[in-house]
Chains A and B, each alone.
Chain A
């Protein structure tokens, strides 16, 4: 049996991103992250770390490795297609002031 380069325990547990629904009617919102060996413990730890004062009614945990994020460096080009389409906003349109419910 070859010796492992490091003890298993000294390997950090994987990182999980935590999302909490504050109450019915609100969406889940990212609140932070934590380490846990598996999804079950990630959920339990998330409850204890992020909802000790009834801050949530539902929790999602997602492996941080599994999150694909847009790159800040490409932010301008990535979001550019939306920049020149101001006609998507209602304020773009000239309408007479005395029309109701418009």
Chain B
């Protein structure tokens, strides 16, 4: 019952009002330390994740458009980032190329909400941003499942903060989608009746506590790899939302790594639990990058057009390869064996070779036949319906206040 209530609260967050509830929970006693205090200590022997101290999660650097969007992100200091940043060098925001959509795209300038744009560009962005937003709020469920059962108060506080971040990411993204002239209510309806999708990864269950570690490490790791290039997306509001999201995701990935790091140094049962979670999440995480889209497979998909429009910067296959190359050394550090007998360094290519992904499973889950598809959408719909009275009450209160204000003004 308590878990049920927490989940309802968590799932209502997207409608705004109850964000406060979680924040209040998060401000008790020892939790009043800023969340970043948990993530700043350098982990021994994890060079790939060791962040420069202090982490720049502060006002000056973060979250505002006052920052130069081309400044490095701490979220993912990877080749993908460097390449995207280099790609961006010519963008100076100058008006030299005028307002023509094609000229702006050719000059690698950003498109802003009221600029003229092809209808297809608008539709593609609405679909992509909405799917991204839906993934964030559905993604609250698998981990929200563990809030009441987190093994310590510290873990519980972190998990609440993380799940709240997912709600926040959903809101940034819905806000970006709305600049394209669509209402959030409409997007939620499309999610609820299945017309729009969310990432398949969230249709897998979180069976053990170690799954929270595996999600942070693998799923959020893959998400960062996907999202960092989106910080350079041609559509301004989406790119700005992604900068914010990427900075927050780096805490998510590090806390996941830390969970597994601790389990792998624990008892045999704890180590087995961590290994089991990695076994179950590795392949779905690789599938997160989407179906193959290079070589023969490039024909007919969205990738080519999205790359021409500067919405997408790298192919699914490139990002997946970069992800594998990044994760193998981290798995070795953890002492986790990745569940792929074909995984080995290829000197010639300078990359890790890896086995075949089960795309039949991917399509099956995408079509709705995954382990948790029905549960996720049912829960989302229920949370929305059960939050209706909150939205109605807030409307009624706002209307009453407005009437009173008008009466006061006319009396004066």
Tell me the A residues contacting B by CB distance below 8 Å. 7-13, 15, 20, 22-23, 26, 29-38, 41, 44-45, 48-57, 69, 71-72, 75
Contact = CB atoms under 8 A, between A and B. Distances in A.
Interface stretch (B53-61, B279-287, B339-347): B53-61
23 contacts: A8-B392, A11-B395, A12-B183, A12-B185, A13-B391, A20-B64, A22-B60, A30-B65, A32-B172, A32-B237, A34-B175, A35-B16, A36-B16, A38-B397, A38-B398, A38-B402, A44-B19, A48-B164, A49-B19, A49-B172, A53-B35, A54-B34, A55-B64
Interface in B382-399: 388-389, 391-392, 394-398
B63 A51 contact: yes
Nearest to A26: B66
Contact of A75 (B65, B99, B248, B394): B99
Size category of the B interface is: 35 or more
B62 interface: yes
B125 to A, nearest CB: 16
Contacts of A13: 16, 391, 394-395
B184 interface: yes
Given A13-B391, A32-B172, A34-B175, A72 B241 contact: no
A48 B35 CA distance: 14
Given A31-B64, A49-B171, 13 more contacts: A8-B395, A9-B388, A26-B66, A32-B237, A32-B240, A32-B241, A34-B16, A37-B397, A38-B398, A41-B17, A53-B58, A55-B64, A71-B114
Nearest to A31: B64
B182 to A, nearest CB: 11
B65 A31 contact: yes
A37 B395 contact: yes
A52 to B, nearest CB: 6
The 6 closest A-B pairs by CB, nearest first: A48-B19, A55-B63, A37-B394, A38-B398, A37-B398, A9-B391
A13 B175 CA distance: 13
